[in-house]
Amino acid sequence: MSNYTIAEINLSALQRNMEIIKYISNGVKVLNIVKANAYGHGIVEISKASEEFGADALGVANVEEGIKIREAGVKLPILVLFQHFKDESDLVCQYNLNPIISNDECLEYYDKFLKKNGGTLNLYIKVDTGLNRMGAKPEDVLALSKKVLSYDTLNIEGINTHYAAADMKDDYSKEFTNKQINTFNEVLNTLNKNSISIKNVHTANSAALIYYKNTYFDMVRAGIILYGYADSPCKPILNLKSHVVLVRNIKKGESISYGMTWISDNDTKVAVIPIGYADGISRKLSNNWEVKINEKYYPLRGKVCMDSIVVEIFNDNIKVGDEVLIFGDDEKLNADTMAERIGSISHEILVNIGERVKRVYNKKINK
Ligand SMILES: *Cc1c(COP(=O)(O)O)cnc(C)c1O
């Protein structure tokens, strides 16, 4: 099945998106976010391509993802964006990952490892300016910074924060974001006054990159925009495709799929496509999506199954083996429009593409 249901990933489009991001962000450094299997696009391939195309750093969610791309040969700085566990401290040092800390819990563990094995560790301090997920409270950042600097094995490479609503256009969200920016600037001032200089300051996710020019500092963190979504000239780099595996005649009054939720008004034809909710096609799309076959759109009929969907093809001449676009770089069928249908966001649509969908890349990345 896997060879007939594929995620085609266009690395030339990734390169173009990176150029657009560089242009929008006025040439500051860019960190490519590759967490969650690079939003479903394949963490090793996207990380290597990012390195080849000139990214300045990579961001992963956890230590395991960091190790995976380090072992694949990636040399770029790798930031672990989320809090890791104490017992992963040795691995962070061993694989030269850059942790982002909210408190001083792991410092002594890093120090112990580094004293024993040599070397130093560059870490980032996260400031909680309102998301209330991770990060030190603004009033605690100075003390935490001093604590880090009291270890001669540890350097503060940078400082950052994360926005709660940079993508939203209502007044309350804008006010909230501006408050977060102000709080963060106050923290920077305090550190400055105390002669603590920070090399690498970053706050912008994709939405801030697009809507808030005053969030760039030294580097931006490009997530969903890199993969071609968010309100920018960047283009989707992934096309989720399959092929017709059966064509069937349906009589007027017959129903399709579990629960008989769709009943045909006419004699008609349907095509069966081997992709289902196990591959990331939400059951909420039952009777509520279209696919594209030979440049025409066809409606999904009945419930999405684990391994298949059924679409009505009417009297059109569609044959077994014809290619089917589920979603991708298409005005009607993309991760944003799919997300709208099911009350989600493009991030979730992309990361839900199942493991058995084979990722196919249009360009070989050497290294
Ligand atoms: C995931 C993540 C991002 C990227 O978010 P997008 O909305 O995809 O741009 C940026 N920063 C942090 C800390 C993240 O966890």
pLDDT at res. 367: 43
Ligand 1 center to residue 58 CA distance, Å? Answer: 11
Residue 1 has a pLDDT of 44
**Quick check: CB of 89 below 6 Å from ligand 1?**
no
Nearest to 315 by CA among 248, 363, 268: 268
- Stretches where the chain sits below pLDDT 70 are 1-3, 364-367
Ligand 1 mutation pick, 205, 232, 346, max ligand atoms within 8 A of CB: 205
Pocket test for ligand 1, best of 24, 32, 37, 81 (most atoms within 8 A of CB): 81
Pocket flag, ligand 1, residue 81 (CB < 6 Å): yes
Instruction: Choose the catalytic residue: 23, 115, 252, 258.
Output: 258
Rounded CA separation 108/140 (Å):
18
Tell me the pTM.
0.96
Distance 127 CA to ligand 1 centre (A): 15
Which among 175, 231, 223 has a CA at the least distance from the CA of 202?
223
223 lines ligand 1 (CB under 6 A): yes
Spatial distance between the Cα atoms of 286 and 273, rounded to a whole number of angstroms: 14
How far CA 145 is from CA of 126, 151, 181, 189, 217, in Å, comes to: 11, 11, 20, 13, 19
DSSP 178: H
pLDDT at 274: 97
**Which entry of 22, 35, 68, 303 is annotated as an active-site residue?**
35
Closest C-alpha to ligand 1, atom 1: 223
> What pLDDT is stored for residue 363 in this prediction?
76
For 57, the token pair is 């750093």
The pLDDT value recorded for residue 186 is 98
Write down the pLDDT at residue 365.
57
- Cα 207 to averaged position of ligand 1 atoms, centre (Å): 9
**How far, in Å, from the CA of 205 to the mean position of ligand 1?**
5
Annotated catalytic, 258? Answer: yes
Identify the pLDDT of residue 30: 98
Q: What residues pair up with 324 in beta bridges, in sequence order?
A: 242, 293
Q: Collect all residues with Cβ–Cβ distance below 8 Å to 202 and sequence separation of at least 6.
A: 29, 31, 158, 160, 216, 217, 218, 219, 220, 221
